[in-house]
Structure 1
Amino acid sequence: MDILIMVGQLLLGLSILVGVHELGHLLAAKAFGMRVEKFSIGFPPKIAGFKWGETEYSVGAVPLGGFVKISGMIDESMDKEFADKEPQPYEYRSKPAWQRLIVIMGGIIVNVITGIIIFVGLTYWLGEQYYPARLMDNGIVASSLAQEIGLKTGDKIVAVNGKALTRFDDITSRDVLLGSGAYYTVERGGEQLRIDIPNDLIGQLSRKKLGGPFVEPRFLFSVGQVDPKGPAAAAGMQAGDKITAIDQMPIVYFQDVQQALSDKAGKTVNVAISRKNTIDTLQITVTEQGRIGFAADLDRPVETAHFGFWESVPHGATAAFGIIADQIRAFGKIFKRELRAEDSLGGPILMAQMFGATWDWVRFWRITGALSMVLAFMNFLPIPALDGGHVMFILFEMVSGRKPSDKFMGTAQQVGMILLLSLMVFAFYVDIAKIFR
């Protein structure tokens, strides 16, 4: 069932994004009097379709893309039958370069607009939720990777790149993961230290299985809901209890409980609890999963910044374009060999995992908005067979006054398709390799 939910969200998200992308091409083409022969969401074989006017609308069985077939244009269909015929007024090739440029850019523009609308809507309806920096009052729990770069459990990160920390999330912001020369300012033992962040931190995070966050706050806690069928309930633990020790190991933070139980699977432990100013000791058998059967009530404040509609527009647009900026910075790291391509790229399996095994509409629209901006960016790359490749050739024509021949365009399209298919195979390989890593 989990897989079906992940796949369902992926297919719905891709269908929306591919649909609006191809619609951008279609509307621009029709606006300039070009004949659109086919509009498809998904690649053949065709599952269903209908014809309206001169255009056949269909849904294909391969849901990893889509296409618009415009008369007189060499595209992924590799149809060149028109090349030996006299150009017709309704054909793509008969139109001025500036009109063809707008038609090619139509899909990219609509994807950008879609991404902005989604992020503006999310900002307006939900605001921006974040963990305030005061979560740092008790210091952090450092993962193994955080310890490798010099952080320690108990450190208090007070600044990132010299700027005072206001939101806990800024510890792993895009400036940290995609920047160069980033550093933390840390309070440790009454002193302030500088911890340099390696330029390939994002790659290391992708490769290593940390079993938890890179860093997280140390949370004060009390016992929340107790599993009525678990060993803690059987021993008499109740909601509101405070655990003070496990096998005489002092417990202050929730992470202390996790550490104390980490090697006690199947064993009985003595759990000291405080309840209404009295201390009691419970004997609890730890499950094979290293748990005793309660949910922690964590001292974890979440703050929300709310915005009016007109305030949401620049905030949402900034969030949307920030994704494109992240893509550019990630490519820069790849070219500088600070990030391996396989750590940055992913295919349909990774995208499905991003959506998750539960249907959360907020998460769905966040991911769909991000993918819309990524799709716009990737399509703008100057690779033949992508929109960016067509843009490159049209700009060459506009500057030089010479139009590339149909033969050249056909060859370029074939080369581009080979590159794209190779990239898809590589993306599937990366996805599968991450599963078995």
Structure 2
Amino acid sequence: MELATQIFQFILSISILVVLHELGHFLPAKWFKCRIEKFYLFFDPWFSLVKKKIGETEYGIGWLPFGGYVKIAGMVDESMDTEQLKQPAQPWEFRSKPAWQRLIIMLGGIFVNLVLAWAIYTGLNLSVGEKYHDLSKFQNGISVSEEGAMMGLRNGDHIIKIDGKPAERLETSLINMLLANEVTVLRDGKEVSFKPNEDGIAHILGAKTAKSYIVNRFAPVVDTLIAGPAKAAGLQVGDKIVGLDGKKINFQDELTQDLSSKKNTPVQLEVLRNGELKTIAITTTKEGKIGFGADFSLAQKAIEETETTKSYSFLPAVGRGFERTVESLTMQIKQFKLMFNKKIKGYKNVGGPIAIIKMMPKEIDWIAFWSFTAMFSAWLAFLNLLPIPGLDGGHALFTTWELITGKPVPQKVLENAQMIGVIFLLGLMLLIFGSDIYKVIAGKF
């Protein structure tokens, strides 16, 4: 049932985005009196699920849910149907229109995606505000995972700036630090700046727990005991560890770190049990552990205490909606740095439809759904801006060249470029699907 709910939300989100994106091409094409032969949600190789011809246009739903398309007469597109192009250009064909009109038609989908993201973010700002975890409320600093430590962070750090800009929100900072050239933290009362270690970033991207490489610090309280030194020494569920070998312990990360340096060593634990202080002698394992599970509900409570909701009136909501759209678009651009970094190898963590479905809420959550749709709309805008033949950006590039030089790109060049672009995009699709399938088989989702 959970998977069905995730698939439903994915298909609904993609359908909204694709229909509106293609409408961004359809409306200006109609306005400039181009003939529209097809308007399809999803692709329809060999057959379509639903189709109906209204006037000169066939409207339909394909069976391959990877997007959609508007087929405009006289245009070299994904169908690679060049027979019509061998005939003299007709007034109602795309190729007969002035370059500035063709450019507007090509950029229409991108424009709609950006406006849609802006509209959704504005609506979310007005209806529920922005909910986030405020880094200024991490009064005791952060606790970092092993991957976070590899990146250069330390337990107790207060994150204050990322690339020179104030770090206010945990959610955006978690991503921005992976893309940053410089992170500035307050460490032991001093400002320390460092470049995030690429090895650590690679580990974070490859880890299932990547989203939680930073948490708020919490006290070490025993939640579970396994067969081992702690249980044998008499440690009990509910015990709060407050000291190790005479050193005061306040947080779980302090205890873990100190124990890791005392492998196979007798230690003295000071614990608080029912308000009474007790000392327990334990010998650590060769891994520097004592065999208990911490109460992570305290971690959840600690992170909840940093949660903040910011409300907006109409005009600030519109302004912040624009800012969030720009932030989403900028983040997509920055992520390309990770994709092609030889050390980080971000391309290994590229996800396709299966990965996206896994990102969807397991229960209907309209706030999460619309937040995802807005982010994905900005992502589609960025993707289509890329100057790759077969994408809107590729068509726009050739049309812009014509506007600058006053000479159209030869038809044969357009056809060959489109063919290369289609082959590239198909190869990319196979890579993404292969990555998804590998992750399913390897249990990495």
TM more than 0.5: yes
Aligned residue number for residue 43 of structure 1: 43
Matched, 1:357 2:358: no
- Could you tell me how far apart the structure 2 residues matched to 1:396 and 1:70 are? 21
Aligned residue number for residue 298 of structure 1: 301
How far does the alpha carbon of each residue in 1:315-362 deviate from its partner, in whole angstroms, 9 at most, with x for none?
111111212212222224545646424146321122112213222111
Correspondences of 1:391-410 after superposition (within 5 Å):
391-410=396-415
- Could you tell me how far apart the structure 2 residues matched to 1:329 and 1:206 are? 15
Aligned residue number for residue 417 of structure 1: 422
**Deviation at 1:150?**
4.3
1:88 corresponds to which of 87, 90, 93: 90
Q: 1:305 to 1:35 in 2, by over 3 A?
A: same
Aligned residue number for residue 268 of structure 1: none
Q: 1:81 to 1:198 in 2, by over 3 A?
A: same
Aligned residue number for residue 140 of structure 2: 138
Matched, 1:244 2:240: yes
How far does the alpha carbon of each residue in 1:403-424 deviate from its partner, in whole angstroms, 9 at most, with x for none?
2333332222211110100011
- Report if aligned partners of 2:179, 2:337 keep a CA contact under 8 Å in 1: no
Letter in 1 for 2:327: G
Correspondences of 1:212-231 after superposition (within 5 Å):
213-219=212-218
- Could you tell me how far apart the structure 1 residues matched to 2:195 and 2:86 are? 63
Aligned residue number for residue 7 of structure 1: 7
- Could you tell me how far apart the structure 1 residues matched to 2:396 and 2:95 are? 14
Letter in 2 for 1:18: V
- Could you tell me how far apart the structure 2 residues matched to 1:193 and 1:171 are? 17
Letter in 2 for 1:177: L
> 5+ unaligned residues in a row in structure 1: which ranges?
224-236, 260-270, 281-289
Using the aligned pairs only, state the percent identity.
Answer: 35
- Report if aligned partners of 2:338, 2:346 keep a CA contact under 8 Å in 1: no
Letter in 2 for 1:352: I
- Could you tell me how far apart the structure 1 residues matched to 2:21 and 2:59 are? 14
Q: 1:41 to 1:165 in 2, by over 3 A?
A: closer
What's the secondary structure of 2:139's corresponding residue? helix
> 5+ unaligned residues in a row in structure 2: which ranges?
223-235, 258-270, 279-291
Aligned residue number for residue 371 of structure 1: 376
1:381 corresponds to which of 359, 364, 386: 386
Matched, 1:33 2:33: yes
Q: 1:107 to 1:5 in 2, by over 3 A?
A: same
Letter in 2 for 1:55: T
What's the secondary structure of 1:353's corresponding residue? helix
- Report if aligned partners of 1:159, 1:186 keep a CA contact under 8 Å in 2: no
What's the secondary structure of 2:138's corresponding residue? helix
Letter in 2 for 1:426: L
How far does the alpha carbon of each residue in 1:203-231 deviate from its partner, in whole angstroms, 9 at most, with x for none?
332123447711211136999xxxxxxxx
- Could you tell me how far apart the structure 2 residues matched to 1:317 and 1:295 are? 37
Letter in 2 for 1:137: Q
Q: 1:307 to 1:426 in 2, by over 3 A?
A: same
Letter in 2 for 1:118: I
**Deviation at 1:198?**
2.3
TM-score, normalised with respect to structure 2:
0.78
**Deviation at 1:167?**
4.1
Aligned residue number for residue 286 of structure 1: none
- Could you tell me how far apart the structure 1 residues matched to 2:422 and 2:17 are? 21
Q: 1:222 to 1:378 in 2, by over 3 A?
A: same
How far does the alpha carbon of each residue in 1:134-157 deviate from its partner, in whole angstroms, 9 at most, with x for none?
432233222101222444434444
Aligned residue number for residue 115 of structure 2: 113
- Could you tell me how far apart the structure 2 residues matched to 1:87 and 1:162 are? 55
Aligned residue number for residue 352 of structure 2: 347
Correspondences of 1:180-191 after superposition (within 5 Å):
180=181, 182-188=182-188
- Report if aligned partners of 1:124, 1:312 keep a CA contact under 8 Å in 2: yes
Letter in 2 for 1:117: A
- Report if aligned partners of 1:345, 1:430 keep a CA contact under 8 Å in 2: yes
Correspondences of 1:50-61 after superposition (within 5 Å):
50-61=52-63
In angstroms, what is the RMSD of aligned CA positions?
A: 3.7
Letter in 2 for 1:8: F
How far does the alpha carbon of each residue in 1:351-399 deviate from its partner, in whole angstroms, 9 at most, with x for none?
1122132221111111111111111111121111111111111122222
**Deviation at 1:308?**
1.0
Letter in 2 for 1:349: I
Q: 1:344 to 1:310 in 2, by over 3 A?
A: farther
Q: 1:8 to 1:194 in 2, by over 3 A?
A: same
What's the secondary structure of 1:298's corresponding residue? helix
Q: 1:166 to 1:21 in 2, by over 3 A?
A: closer
Q: 1:150 to 1:97 in 2, by over 3 A?
A: closer
Instruction: Kindly tell me the number of residue pairs found equivalent between the two proteins.
Output: 402
Correspondences of 1:210-359 after superposition (within 5 Å):
210=209, 213-219=212-218, 244=240, 274=274, 298-299=301-302, 300-335=305-340, 337=342, 339-343=344-348, 345-359=350-364
What's the secondary structure of 1:373's corresponding residue? helix
**Deviation at 1:110?**
1.0
- Could you tell me how far apart the structure 1 residues matched to 2:335 and 2:14 are? 23
- Report if aligned partners of 2:163, 2:180 keep a CA contact under 8 Å in 1: no
How far does the alpha carbon of each residue in 1:143-183 deviate from its partner, in whole angstroms, 9 at most, with x for none?
10122244443444455556665444464252x22121x12
- Report if aligned partners of 1:186, 1:195 keep a CA contact under 8 Å in 2: no
- Could you tell me how far apart the structure 2 residues matched to 1:337 and 1:99 are? 41
- Could you tell me how far apart the structure 1 residues matched to 2:71 and 2:309 are? 46
What's the secondary structure of 1:75's corresponding residue? coil
Q: 1:52 to 1:243 in 2, by over 3 A?
A: farther
Matched, 1:63 2:65: yes
- Could you tell me how far apart the structure 1 residues matched to 2:5 and 2:173 are? 32
Q: 1:6 to 1:303 in 2, by over 3 A?
A: same
Q: Which moved more, 1:56-65 or 1:164-173?
A: 164-173
- Could you tell me how far apart the structure 2 residues matched to 1:184 and 1:257 are? 25
Q: Which moved more, 1:1-10 or 1:39-48?
A: 1-10
- Could you tell me how far apart the structure 2 residues matched to 1:328 and 1:385 are? 19
Aligned residue number for residue 21 of structure 2: 21
What's the secondary structure of 2:33's corresponding residue? coil
- Could you tell me how far apart the structure 1 residues matched to 2:395 and 2:133 are? 45
- Could you tell me how far apart the structure 2 residues matched to 1:414 and 1:192 are? 53
- Report if aligned partners of 1:40, 1:67 keep a CA contact under 8 Å in 2: yes
